[in-house]
Every structure is written in structure tokens, then in C-alpha cells.
Amino acid sequence: MKRNPGEPEFHQAVHEVVETLIPFILSNRVYKDAQILERMTEPDRVVIFRVCWEDDAGNIRTNRAWRVQFNNSIGPYKGGIRFHPNVTLSVLKFLGFEQTFKNSLTGLPMGGGKGGSNFNPKGKSDREIMRFCQSLMIELHRHIGEDTDVPAGDIGVGSREISYMFGQYKRLENRFSGILTGKGLSFGGSLVRTEATGYGCAYFCENMLNHIEDSLVDKICSISGSGNVALYAVEKAIELGAKVVTLSDSDGFVHVPNGINLEMLAFVKELKTVRRGRIHEFANHYKGVDFYAGKRPWNVPCDIAFPCATQNEINRADSQELINNGVKAVVEGANMPTNLDGIHEFRHAKVILAPAKAANAGGVAVSGLEQSQNALRLSWSREEVDQRLKSIMLEIHSKCVQHSHKYEDYTDYITGANIAGFKKVADAMLAYGIV
Ligand code: NDP
């Protein structure tokens, strides 16, 4: 706390990890004696820089950007770039810290990092987005590289922004190399990268349900968000037999009592990714779909909740409402969507909770596969990438179960993910000595 004043999100992320890791560390003195946890909570470095750009009216605008290079013990830094007005150093440190554990869980050689800017892309023209991305890369290009740090997308950063940044990097460095992931297919992107985080969440959920001899078939799912993660979680959940009844954005949520069908999903994809519209337009377009302004979808009865929008979108009251309505599992598509009170409520009620580190690791895993394809200068087929994604999610599930506390009828996936993610990074740090 004293070391990081004014960083509530970072404190929260560390707290969640520490409360499950302490017993493990105390029973493995080698980690305690080498102060591995203390060292892991300090980023290797943080770069902070000004981004100046010109809007369409000719005004000069100034934003702040950061790259947090958290830990590269097991591979080059890897983690997304977020554009959102609420981005702060605290938010990026929480994301970079979590990313270190997540990347370790994938089994791929990737360290943890995160970056972003307090730039608000909403309402900006394509040209303004391009100028902002190009200006940001003028500084960022000095700090990234295929063996150093490989950023990707996150909230507010999709294929359009990655393409502008990649184009600028190439111009500045005169090199074509895989320094960003989530690229377009014609210039080094991987098939299934767009879908990977959402698909991975649904695969992880299916693995969790299979573990208790159940499945997604006929399960009612409530999903928040309507961005990259949410849309593909919906798609895969439907394919696996579930009925998805909600979606949201920062204006409110839509309730579709009969379930979202594929035609509706195609409509929302076009609405959100091409027209960049608002979720209430979905309710205007379809009869029997209701829009609830300013609300999150957690009062809608469901079997499975998939929070896929942003951090802290499920608090104690939301978790109690979900529990009272009979929720069986929570699968975190977003990073840290459940606050600490919410986690404690779910654990107490024995609702199985797939933490973000495990459940949404599919995105970065396929980013890792994109790096491999770039290094080999070849492209794998959709089936091959999807099969690898499925295997990685299954493997992450096994690691979580293996390291979770053994309760008779309940798997604590949070503890399992934290211990499994920690161990690999910690062992590498031990091997390096005091660095
Ligand atoms: P997008 O920008 O594509 O979508 C974000 C969605 O969440 C939008 O519907 C957005 O609504 C909503 N949202 C964002 N901020 C808020 C807020 N403060 N309150 C309510 N709704 C909000 O982002 P992604 O889908 O890529 O990311 C979603 C989450 O998943 C994030 O936590 C991200 O870190 C995490 N994640 C993403 C990965 C990826 O591969 N993209 C990988 C792993 C994790 P609106 O349009 O109104 O802002």
C-alpha cells in the first residue's frame, strides 16, 4: 500500500492473489526466503510518455500513454494496449500483474506486460484514430520488439488500431516483424485470434462443467459487454448448446428472453464492429428484446454468468442477486470483473468461479501462436489454431484443478490458477538469483 499510493485497482489485484498464495508460500519456504512475491509485485519498468495529435478541426490534443513491462522471467513481455478515458497507471499495473500469471498458465514462453492511454476513441473519426495511433507508436517503437515486448489489443484497441500501429512501426523501423499480435490476415495475423478470447472462455466453461459431469447444453447464460470478448463468447456458447439471454455496453443491457440467435448475433457484430453503434439499437431492431438503461445484467436469472465488459462489474450486491437467482458458475471473460467481496460471496455459496487469468487466457495464447507463425513465416489453418486453443484451455483447466485446494465437492479455481501461474515464474526467478 505504502509503496503504491493511489493505485486501488493494483492493490485489489495483488490482494486477490496474495490471499490465496500465502499458505502455499509459507509451506514452500524457498519462495518466502527469496522474497519472490515481493519481487513479483514490482514491475520491471514503466514507460510513461506524452502523445500529441491533431483532431479533425485542427486542434492539438494531448494524451498520456504508458507501457508497463511487468515481468519477463519466462519470455518477452506480452499484453494488450487499452484505449479508454479511465486508463491510469493503477489500471495498467493491475492488468500487467495479472497478465504475468495468465501468460504463465498458457504454457507458452511469454512474460507479462500491459499498456494503454487515457485516449477516448468514442466519437473519433477514422483519421483521428489513425493520427493518434501513429503518434503513440513514434514513442512506443523504441520499447517493443519480437524478443522484447509484443503488445496486442484490448478495450478500445481492435484490428483497426493494431493495423495503424503496425503500419507506423514498419515505417519507423524499416522492418517487417511480429512486434504486435492481432494483425490483419494479409500481414501476419493468425486465424482465430479475433475469436480466441471469447471462444476460450466458452471452452473453459465447458471443461469446468464437464469436470462435474455437466455441460453447456440448455444452460441459460447471461453475458455482459458487446465487444470482442463478449461477441465470440456468445457465438461459442450458442454452438455448445447454451441459450444466451443478455448483452450490454456502458449505456445498459439488453434482455432477450428467448435467447440470442445467429441472425441476431450477426446484427450485433455489424452494429458494434462496423457501425460502432450502441446496444440499445439492438432492442429497437427486434421485437421482444428489452433495453435497461444504466444497468448491468446481473438481475436476470441465469445458470452461468460471463462478465465480459470491464473490471469491477460484479460487486457484492450483484453476486448475491446472481446467487439468489440460482447461478451455478461464473466465467470471467473480462479482467478482474468480480471485486473481492463478490469473490468471497461466490466462494461461500460454492459457486464455481473461473478467474480471468485462466478463463480469458485463450486470447493471449493465440497471440503466442501468432508469434510462432510469424517466426516460422507460415500460417496455420483455422482448424489447427482452434484445436491448439482447445488443447491449451483444457491444459489450463487441468493445472487449475491440480493446484486448487481439495474440497469434497468444490474446486477453487482462483487458488489453482494463482498457484499454477506463480510457480513457473517463481521458479525461473529463483534460478536467476537476485535480479
Ligand atoms: P472491447 O473494447 O471490444 O469491448 C468492451 C466492451 O465492454 C464494450 O461493450 C464496452 O461498452 C464495455 N465496457 C467497457 N468499459 C465499460 C464500463 N466502464 N462499463 C460498462 N461497460 C464497459 O474490449 P474487449 O472485448 O477486447 O475487452 C473486454 C474485457 O476483456 C477487458 O477486461 C479486457 O481486458 C478483457 N480481455 C480482452 C482480451 C482480448 O483478446 N480482446 C483478452 C483477455 C482479456 P462501450 O462500447 O459502451 O464502452
3-state SS record for 276-303: CCCCHHHHHHCCCCEEEECCCHHHCCCC
Quick one: 336 and 234 in the same domain?
yes
Contact at 8 Å (CB) between 245 and 220? yes
ipTM of the complex: 0.98
Quick one: 212 and 152 in the same domain?
no
Per the structure, the count of domains in the chain is 2
Confidence of residue 1 (pLDDT cuts 50, 70, 90): low
Going from the Cα of 123 to the center of ligand 1, the distance in angstroms, rounded, reads 17
Quick one: 54 and 163 in the same domain?
yes
Going from the Cα of 144 to the center of ligand 1, the distance in angstroms, rounded, reads 24
393: in domain: no
Contact at 8 Å (CB) between 201 and 231? no
Active site residues: 114
Quick one: 143 and 279 in the same domain?
no
Q: Cell 517466426 belongs to which residue? A: 375
Residue of minimum CA distance from atom 3 in ligand 1: 227
Chain-wide mean pLDDT for the chain?
Answer: 97
Quick one: 199 and 345 in the same domain?
yes
| Residues contacting 205, CB < 8 A, separation 6+ | 216, 237, 304, 306, 329, 331, 354, 359
**What b/e sequence results for 282-298 when a residue is b if at least 16 CB atoms lie within 10 Å of its CB, and e otherwise?**
bbeeeeebebbeeebbb
Which of 88, 114, 250 has the most ligand 1 atoms within 8 A of CB, as the residue to mutate? 250
Q: The domain containing residue 283 runs over which residues?
A: 195-354
69: in domain: yes
Residue of minimum CA distance from atom 36 in ligand 1: 334
Of 146, 178, 210, the one marking the end of a domain is 178
Q: Cell 470478448 belongs to which residue? A: 229
Quick one: 50 and 167 in the same domain?
yes
**What b/e sequence results for 404-426 when a residue is b if at least 16 CB atoms lie within 10 Å of its CB, and e otherwise?**
beeeeeebbbbbbbbbbbbbbbb
Backbone angles phi, psi at 119, to 5 degrees: -65, 135
Quick one: 172 and 204 in the same domain?
no
Quick one: 141 and 213 in the same domain?
no
219: in domain: yes
Atom of ligand 1 nearest to the CA of 95: 34
Quick one: 158 and 201 in the same domain?
no
Going from the Cα of 225 to the center of ligand 1, the distance in angstroms, rounded, reads 6
Binding-site residues for NAD(+), please? 197, 228
pLDDT digits (tens, 9 = 90+) for 41-61: 999 999 999 999 999 999 999
295: in domain: yes
Going from the Cα of 309 to the center of ligand 1, the distance in angstroms, rounded, reads 4
Supply the pLDDT for residue 2: 79
Supply the pLDDT for residue 175: 94
Quick one: 211 and 319 in the same domain?
yes
280: in domain: yes
Residue of minimum CA distance from atom 15 in ligand 1: 310
Q: What is the mean pLDDT of residues 309-330?
A: 98
Contact at 8 Å (CB) between 228 and 158? yes
Contact at 8 Å (CB) between 330 and 336? no
Ligand 1 shell residues, CB under 6 Å: 153-156, 197, 225-230, 249-250, 308-310, 333-335, 360, 363
Which of 78, 91, 248, 249 has the most ligand 1 atoms within 8 A of CB, as the residue to mutate? 249
CATH number of the domain enclosing 64: 3.40.50.10860
421: in domain: no
Of 178, 209, 239, the one marking the end of a domain is 178
Quick one: 207 and 341 in the same domain?
yes
Of 130, 148, 178, the one marking the end of a domain is 178
Quick one: 161 and 213 in the same domain?
no
277: in domain: yes
Percent of the chain with pLDDT over 90: 98
Q: What is the mean pLDDT of residues 129-145?
A: 98
Contact at 8 Å (CB) between 98 and 64? no
pLDDT digits (tens, 9 = 90+) for 335-382: 999 999 999 999 999 999 999 999 999 999 999 999 999 999 999 999
386: in domain: no
pLDDT digits (tens, 9 = 90+) for 189-208: 999 999 999 999 999 999 99
pLDDT digits (tens, 9 = 90+) for 207-244: 999 999 999 999 999 999 999 999 999 999 999 999 99
